[in-house]
Structure 1
Amino acid sequence: MSGIKRTMIILPATLVYFLVMLDSSIISTAIPQITDEFNSLLDVGWYGSAYQLASSAFVPLAGKIYIFFPIKWSFIVFFTVFELGSALCGAAQSSPMLIVGRAIAGLGASGLMNGILTILAAILPPHKLPRVMGLNVALGQVGLACGPLIGGALTEYATWRWCFYINLPVGALVGALLLSLRIPEINTKPPAYEVLHTAMSSMDLFGLVLLWPSAIMFFLALQWGGNQYAWNSAMVIGLFVGAAITSGLFLTWEYHYGDNALLPFSMLRNRVIYSASATMFFFMGVMLTAYYYLPIYFQAVKGDSPLMSGVHILPSIISQVLVTMSTGTLIQRVGYYLPNVLTGTALASIAYGLYSTFSPSTSVGKWIGYQIIGGAGSGATSPGSYIAIQNSVPRAAIPTAMAILILCQNLGSAIFLTVAQSIFSNSLQNHLRTQAPGVDVQAVIQGGARMLRPLVPAQELPSVLQAYSRAIDAVMYLGAGLGVAAFGCAWGLGFKDIRKKGEEGK
């Protein structure tokens, strides 16, 4: 496949990737308004992690679906579910309804990212993948980076609900394009009735049944600990123990199930696969933590509107987009992806260390400069792991390998957004009690991030803003640690010249 036919497939696939990544961050600048409307500041972590959790839990199954069912129709089904979740989020009348909608959208997204990478592998020779993958990831990062700005504008001048409704008209266009295109298969697919007849064994549905409860119990423990229940309560401890037991059962089952498992251990032993997956596990937490908590800093501490909070993270957006768009081409020319990943993770760690110094009096020059460093770090890191895997496994194994990578990065996003929320909420309560003892802590928390000034007496406001700032600083310590962990994992990607593989494929 070449020429216009290939381009007509790449365009809608890239647009879908843009929408999925946009959906991951567009809610960030709308969250303060949502918490005001639903009185749900303690649910902030769930607005991001419900999406990532659902996506993580279904990613292994999505990889299996692309192996056994036609790529085109599998992709369209997942995209329909994603659009349904977006519609439900836009129509949400309560915080739980919004969380459910986010989970349904995440379920659809679980198959979209894997599907896009599978489609690109099906229509492109290996030596052309880095440049197209770099462009694809770059546009996805544009969506991730521009999400807060778009979300802020929609929240201020329309309604936060359009942060989700925006997916629907674009989705209709993409759906029409996809229906009219023929997408080639990487390998021959068995008849659907044969797959359905043996689904329990061929698709490892029992493994999926073990994976879901372990993930749900773990996230409930993180969310409830220190908020609804004490960390040493029987409820929280029981959830952690239950998650550990079911995770152990899942891994044991996967080990004995062999190559038909959701996570084949034969692939997990591949150094590039487990290094790339571990790198993205930590690094997605790095990227999303900033996009969720910088807008809270600007809106709560600096008093920005939703739009201006998006404008004020433009330094991060612009630097990330520019660096990401040049990274794919640079890797294809130089041949090595590891230097970009190491440089990016190091810069991101430094940026988070600088973010942790934010206070109500931080100057404009500092928060602009710090964000440029962080955005450049995110942009340099993002494409490397995808390119590494696609140049390290046979083409027929790419859906499974990508499922492992996407599972790890989504799991990291969900875990660390929940951890960040736990750190933020517990730290905020502690700082409010010590620095503003005359303030009703629960009223401040339930009021939401943008209601501080109307709720808090003028004489107490500086102390409350300082408490908010210190709680956000505590979250930034987490980001710095995750960046260091990603830097350590990235060394396993190795120094491999992908140009040699490209020359063999010509």
Structure 2
Amino acid sequence: MDPIPYLPLSAQTISSLAVGQIQRPVSVNTMDSPVPSRSGFSERHTPQYNSSLKKHTPSQNNSSLATSEEKKPVSRIVEKLDSHSDSIVYPGKVQVTFITIALCLSILLVALDQTIVATAVPKITDHFQALDDVAWYGSAYLLTTASFQLPFGKIYTLFSVKWTFLAAISIFELGSLVCGVAQSSKALIVGRAIAGLGCAGIYSGGLIIVSYSVPLRQQPIYNGIISSTWGIASVAGPLMGGVFTEKISWRLCFIINLPIGIVTALGIMLFFHPPRVQRSTATGVFGYVKLFDIIGCFVLVSAVVLLFLALQWGGSKYTWKSGYTIGLLVAFGVLVVIFIGIQLWMQDNATVPPRILKNRSILAGVAFSFMLGGSFFTMVFYIPIWFQAIRGKTAVSSGIDNIPMLLGVVVASTLAGASVSAFGYYTPFMIASAVFSAVGAGLLTTLQVDTGHARWIGYQAMFGLGIGLGMQQPIAAAQTVLQLADIASGTALIVFAESLGGSLFLSVGQSIFTNKLIDGLVSQVPNLDPSIVLQTGAVGLKYAIDPEYLPDVLAAYNHAITKTFCVSVALSCFTIFGAIFTEWKSVKGNKPVVAAA
């Protein structure tokens, strides 16, 4: 791909830029684009531009100009990469505040939608009389979310960040509307799939917008706020779903997204204005098709679909050893190999450019996020089940009892973001995350039927602290080590890894839970048909089981759940490898600007 030509800069232009008289780069044709460099100029021409700056050093008169300029009120933040580089102009504090609120609302949308439906499923299945479709209410959403995260990352590099993000919000809102007014189970599943497609572009898009809105050294704070919102919504979702379902209607779980989405879209439209840079060199539909790597995206989506089908059917519709399950997994592996080959062939135009994967911090961050996502979502799903089955709590009260983990995530995410901005380094927090989350998850495996409040509160808080400390750090690493043109792809890759880890290990956890529960029931309560317990569900367990068998059933249930927690223990321990292989780079240092390969 040929470098984008820019008009040569005169000494006068450079001097004007140095004192802030020119706020946007001079180019042939400009538009809102997702791929500016930190300076607003082509990454490929940065070295030549810096050299020209050295040749045309501003005179003493220019210094006096700068002094007088400093006395004027400044409504925007200007970050300089080094003493010889130009500047990128960021929004002022008021605009950033409204952008942050809008982004938090967008994250609230997608995080709530991943968990809020769980407590509404019983009512939905009763309404539609479609028990066989239960699994698809969650899987349809996760399937499209995971499948299109990397393609959305590519879209963000080709088109306007602002309008791509708004398009993702619109798609999500459409899916929520379809779900809210669905008159059949099939329509609800279609709506969930549409909402998942929109979700794929929202979370990564929000993090990309942060990189355009505040200087690098401040980005960890805002990433921490976003991560806190994600943590709050992930834990509060089941609680809200229970309240809506019990007090009003299950449809409100979806309709509530509409006003929130509208406010989010208005906030981004009014207050977020990305830099104007050189228009893409692509011309016509075929030009964009070539840049988009449509073949690679198709292979990727197909691979993710096959993986999800294998995880969905394995151990339920088909055994793990059946030809169907093995065939799906083998086909998934083949498509992954093909996808990698396509990426190597496409190079800079690939969905995941190989130059990004050559970066040690990105590979380490992907591994860290994959395992942390699996650990977190396993606990988010199974801790409420422990409260409902073992403690006899309702869906609402189990959500309340889950608050200690929520607070741990929120407090740690916020403090970690502020600390990274203050001290510069994010790697120590990844290491601390591995330690705290592993210890917290390990303590949660010791829960018993009669465990007191102090223990399950403290254990959850410990685990939440670990998750909160590390959740945002791979994103901070990507924003630090990658040039701005690659941040969209790098961010999407990390978010994809986190979502894939959550989806994959939820299925692994489900398999462990089911097998351990059946084994425990067979050994401890041989006179009770295990299918009765499996079909009863967690909430009605104490009411459906004969009191004579109940203590042994609860013991078997507790053993199965705590064994499932071992998945989180193992994954949290393995995150340490992602942490220690992450480079020690500071968000406060000068960010190197490297031309794309």
TM-score (norm 2): 0.78
Structure 1 counterpart of 2:358: 269
Which of 391, 405, 414 is equivalent to 1:316?
Answer: 405
Q: Which residue of 2 aligns with 1:153?
A: 243
Report the alpha carbon displacement of residue 463 of structure 1 after superposing the two structures with TM. 2.4
Q: Cα gap change, 1:94/1:357 in structure 2, threshold over 3 Å: closer, same or farther?
A: farther
Bigger Cα displacement from structure 2, 306-315 vs 207-216: 207-216
Distance 1:428 1:85, change over 3 A: farther
Q: Is 1:82 equivalent to 2:172 in the alignment? A: yes
1:149-171 deviation digits (Å, cap 9, x = unpaired) = 33333333334443332212211
Aligned equivalents of 2:308, 2:315: Cα separation in 1: 13
The residue number in structure 1 matching 2:493 is: 404
**Greater Cα shift, 199-208 or 32-41:** 32-41
**Which has the higher mean CA deviation after the structures are superposed, 257-266 or 455-464?**
455-464
Contact 1:436/1:464 (8 A) holds in 2: yes
Q: In structure 2, give the amino acid aligned to 1:289.
A: T
CA contact (8 A) 2:216 2:587 kept: no
Q: Write the distance in 2 (CA, Å) between the matches of 1:187 and 1:457.
A: 70
2:28 maps to what in 1?
A: none
**What is residue 195 of structure 2 aligned with on the other side?**
105
Checking the alignment, whether the CA contact within 8 Å between 1:16 and 1:174 is kept in structure 2 is: yes
> 1:203·1:262 contact (CA, 8 Å) conserved in 2?
yes
Letter in 1 for 2:365: A
Q: Partners in 1 of 2:542 and 2:128 — Cα distance?
A: 18
Give the aligned partner of residue 218 of structure 1: 307
Higher helix share: 1
**Mapping of residues 77-226 of structure 1, within 5 Å:** 77-91=167-181, 98-185=188-275, 187-190=277-280, 194=283, 196-226=285-315
Question: SS of 2:472's equivalent?
Answer: helix
Q: Secondary structure at the match of 1:362?
A: coil
Q: CA RMSD in A?
A: 2.6
How many equivalent residue pairs? 503
1:25 pairs with 115, 119, 131, which one? 115
Listed one character per residue, the Cα deviations across residues 433-484 of structure 1 (whole Å, up to 9, x for unaligned) are 3333333333432333223233322222222222222221221011111111
- Give, as a single letter, the amino acid of the residue that structure 2 aligns with 1:20: V
Structure 1 pair 436–99 and aligned structure 2 pair: CA distance change class (3 A): farther
Instruction: Please report how far the alpha carbon of residue 490 of structure 1 lies from its aligned counterpart in structure 2 after TM superposition.
Output: 1.3
CA distance in 1 between counterparts of 2:243 and 2:288 reads 46
Assess if the C-alpha contact under 8 Å between 2:390 and 2:554 holds in 1.
yes
Q: Deviations over 1:247-288 (max 9, x none)?
A: 111112212221111111111010111111110111011111
CA distance, structure 1, for counterparts of residue 343 and residue 368 of structure 2 = 22
> 1:279 — aligned with what?
368
| 1:85-104 CA distance string (max 9 Å, x none) | 22344455676655544332
How many angstroms does 1:181 deviate by?
4.2
1:40 Cα offset (Å): 8.3
The alpha carbon displacement at 1:44 in A equals 7.0
Q: Residue 75 of structure 2 corresponds to which residue in structure 1? A: none
| Offset, 1:431 | 2.6
Aligned residues of 1:332 and 1:499 also touching (Cα < 8 A): yes
Q: Say if 1:328 and 1:173 are closer, same or farther in 2 by CA, change over 3 A.
A: same
Matches within 5 A, 1:241-260: 241-260=330-349
In 1: Cα distance, 2:452 partner to 2:187 partner = 39
Cα distance, 1:502 vs structure 2 = 7.4
Output the amino acid matched with 2:573: V
Q: Which amino acid letter does the alignment assign opposite residue 120 of structure 1?
A: V
Equivalent residue, structure 1, for 2:442 = 353
The equivalent position to 1:55 in structure 2, one of 120, 142, 145, is 145
Q: Secondary structure at the match of 1:449?
A: coil
Contact 1:54 1:104 in 2 (8 A): yes
Q: Which residue of 2 aligns with 1:466?
A: 555
Which of residues 492, 516, 526 is equivalent to 1:437?
A: 526
Which moved further from structure 2: 384-393 or 439-448?
A: 439-448
Cα deviations by residue, 1:101-151 (Å, 9 ceiling, x for unpaired)? 433222111111121122222222223222222223223322223323333
User: 1:292 Cα shift?
Assistant: 0.8
- 1:487 has 2:572 as partner: no
Helix, strand or coil at the partner of 1:303: coil
The 1:161/1:434 distance shift into structure 2, 3 A limit, reads farther
Which residue number in structure 1 is paired with residue 428 of structure 2?
Answer: 339
**Identity within the alignment, %:** 35
The answer to whether the Cα contact below 8 Å between 1:145 and 1:321 also exists between their aligned partners in 2 is no
Structure 2 unaligned segments of length 5 or more: list them: 1-90
Counting only pairs closer than 5 Å after superposition, residues 495-506 of structure 1 correspond to structure 2 as 495-501=584-590
Aligned position for 2:329: 240
Q: Distance in 2 between matches of 1:8 and 1:199?
A: 33
1:450 aligns to 2:539 (yes or no): yes
Do the aligned partners of residues 236 and 370 (structure 1) sit closer, same or farther apart at CA in structure 2, a change above 3 Å counting? same
Shift in Å at residue 62 of structure 1? 0.6
1:129 alignment partner AA: Q
Measured after TM superposition, the shift of residue 206 of structure 1 is 0.6
Residue 455 of structure 2 is aligned with which of 366, 370, 378?
366
Q: Which has the higher contact order (CA 8 A, sep 6+)?
A: 1
Q: Distance in 1 between matches of 2:133 and 2:510?
A: 8
Q: Is the 8 A contact 2:158 2:280 kept in 1?
A: yes
Structure 2 CA distance for aligned equivalents of residues 95 and 420 of structure 1? 26
Whether the 8 Å contact between 2:361 and 2:583 is mirrored in structure 1 is yes
- Equivalent residues of 1:138, 1:321 under 8 A apart: yes
Which segments of 5 or more consecutive residues in structure 1 lack a partner in the other structure? none
The Cα offsets for residues 409-443 of structure 1, whole Å up to 9 and x where unpaired, read as: 11112211222222223333333333333333334
Mark the CA change 1:32 to 1:429 in structure 2 (over 3 Å): closer, same or farther. Answer: farther
Following superposition, the deviation at residue 180 of structure 1 comes to 3.6
Q: Which amino acid aligns with 2:262?
A: A
Residue in 2 that maps onto 1:420 = 509
Tell me if structure 2 keeps the 8 A contact 1:62–1:111: yes
Q: Distance in 1 between matches of 2:360 and 2:467?
A: 23
Asked if the contact 1:32–1:449 (Cα under 8 Å) also holds between the matched residues in 2, the reply is no
Q: Deviations over 1:215-235 (max 9, x none)?
A: 122222222222222222111
